[in-house]
Amino acid sequence: MKKVLFVLTSHDVLGNTGEKTGFWIEEFATPYYVLKDKGVSITLSSPKGGQPPIDPKSMGEDFQTPSTKRFNTDKETQKLLANTVILATVNEADYDAVFYPGGHGPLWDLSEDPTSIMLIESFYNNNKPIAAVCHAPAVLKNTKNTDGTPLVKGKNVTGFSNTEEEAVQLTKVVPFLVQDMLKTNGAIYSKVSDWAPHAVKDGLLITGQNPASSEKVAELLLEALK
């Protein structure tokens, strides 16, 4: 049985807006069920452990999908989510791959979290896939190759686009724009039209542009685990 580590944000404050943020439930639920239904063992973790914050907006009626509706009645998974393990206690050697759901939260904590950064580098250096969707490619911001160059340099990647951030009117709120950061780090960034599915695999890196890309990212990760 393949084992995948999910890393969720513990950050719940949306900059200086006074609003709450966290992870986007669709970007957790869809990949979770795609993998679980194929027999993959999943461990849920977060920097602080316990219940990671769900972005309240992602629970709105407009953003419900078959996977979020399934989650809403899935007491077993809700219990697992409420008891995520503390990220610092996790060992890369115990897993075959790592997956990061998005939402705005990771921009603040996971992009700068030393444990997460070391973990990603360890997965990469041990030839294990790293997948991230929407805002979660933010976690690659400070990751490096063994020669000190950015991990994403020269790699084909995607992530939440500047135009999508403008559409949700948070360009001035977020600490950085995912698209700009990836390009600054030397990545070959691609996108499709706003809110359309787009996922890219380059070697061990699998990235998705937005919530609609969650399923594609999970499918690419499944292929990489074969």
Encode pLDDT of 54-73 as tens digits: 999 999 999 999 999 999 99
pLDDT band per the 50, 70, 90 thresholds, residue 122: very high
Residue where the block lists tokens 């900059």: 15
Q: What does the DSSP 8-state code read for residue 141?
A: T
- CA 37, 225, 63, 82 torsion-angle sign: positive
pLDDT at 215: 98
Percent of the chain with pLDDT over 90: 100
pLDDT at 196: 98
pLDDT at 43: 98
The residues near 56 (Cβ < 8 Å, ≥ 6 apart) are: 20, 22
What's the CA angle centered on 164, arms 101 and 162, to 5 degrees?
100
pLDDT band per the 50, 70, 90 thresholds, residue 125: very high
Q: Is the pTM of this model over 0.75?
A: yes
Q: Give DSSP secondary structure letters for 114-161.
A: HHHHHHHHHHHHTT--EEEETTGGGGGTT-B-TTSSBTTTT-EE--S-
pLDDT at 150: 98
pLDDT, mean of residues 120-146: 98
pLDDT, mean of residues 12-34: 97
pLDDT band per the 50, 70, 90 thresholds, residue 163: very high
CB of 126 closer than 8 Å to CB of 146: no
